[in-house]
Structure 1
Amino acid sequence: MKTLVLGAVGAALLAAPGSAQIVRHSSGGNAVILEGVSVPAGADTLMLSGQLASPIDSSKRPDSVESFGDTKTQTISALNKIKGILASRGYAMSDIIKMTVFVAADPKRQDGKMDFAGMNEGYRQFFGTPENPNLVARSTIQVAGLAGPYYLVEIEVTAAKMAAR
């Protein structure tokens, strides 16, 4: 009996690499982020440095937060930049598994807090959509400031996909 069990376990282990997949662990309910992600050995991964928003009008020198937009606008801009970088390396937004979002306080808010709702509105345009139903494991952190005085959002991501065979 031991030989049969060990044989079955060994066969399962040998079969696993060919059937290994990235597993997204949902937190359930209406959550917009994942509880976690399991990435098997052999997956190709790409880690992007933090990306900031681009100016709304690239012909003008940025001189205010309005030059880059509010938190939602900057989130969308940074995610579009990430989308382009990923595409240039053979990845898609659906390959993102982990995201860290740094958000500075919105100067229009009197309470000195980040615009978490605005960031989520921008995020929801890219994740959990018909085009990309995938969600990501994500952390969102309010910071005192970012690389420049007009930036409200910086996003870094990790993408993973199974290697082509």
Structure 2
Amino acid sequence: MAADSKPAIVRHANTPPGLILQGVTVPAGAKMLYLSGQLAAPIDPASKTPPAQMTTADFGDTKTQTISVFSKIKAILAAQGYAMGDIIKLTVFVAGDPKLGGKMDFAGMNDAFKMYFGTAENPNTVARSTVQVAALAGPAFLVEIEATAAK
């Protein structure tokens, strides 16, 4: 290893390889960024509906909200000099969808996840935990995501 290089972040694939990693090893000295949980933005940013009166229709289904959250995370990362490929760990909180009898839409969340990870633009994937929660910050929200990035 050259004097100016540092140990690499190691992504440990599942066996057989899958959508998420078994884990990630981050070497000492890596630069870390921890993001607070992010919620979806309204589908219509010009909506005149007060936030407290918004419903799930204002934010979309689980897939739509997950795409919105990942878009926000991508922008936050970029503002700090990181990219989606630098994410090493996600914790995804999914509320039950009333349209699905209160069950979480795991497939919808995963469909959105696959748009951002394991792609040509970002071939990396992450360690991830996904849990169904009773509720999020308001009844209109179906997804909240915390992210940890390292480089």
Query: TM-score, normalised on structure 2?
Result: 0.92
Which residue does 2:41 correspond to in 1?
A: 54
Give the 3 Å change call, closer, same or farther, for CA 43–57 of structure 1 in structure 2. same
- Write the distance in 1 (CA, Å) between the matches of 2:17 and 2:104: 22
Give the 3 Å change call, closer, same or farther, for CA 48–80 of structure 1 in structure 2. same
Give the 3 Å change call, closer, same or farther, for CA 59–28 of structure 1 in structure 2. same
How many residue pairs get aligned? The number is 147
Which residue does 2:20 correspond to in 1?
A: 33
What are the equivalent positions in structure 2 for 1:7-156 lying under 5 Å apart? Answer: 18-60=5-47, 61=49, 63-110=54-101, 112-156=102-146
- Write the distance in 2 (CA, Å) between the matches of 1:32 and 1:16: 35
Q: In structure 1, list runs of 5 or more residues that go unmatched.
A: 1-11
Give the superposition deviation at 1:30. 4.8
Q: Give the AA of the match of 1:97.
A: I
Which is helix-richer, 1 or 2? 1
Q: Once the two structures are superposed, what CA deviation does each residue of 1:128-154 show, in whole Å capped at 9, x if it has no partner?
A: 001000000000010000001100000
Fraction of identical pairs, as percent: 65
- Write the distance in 2 (CA, Å) between the matches of 1:40 and 1:115: 35
- Write the distance in 1 (CA, Å) between the matches of 2:59 and 2:15: 34
Q: Give the AA of the match of 1:126.
A: Y
Q: In structure 2, list runs of 5 or more residues that go unmatched.
A: none
Please state whether the residue corresponding to 1:84 is helix, strand or coil.
Answer: helix
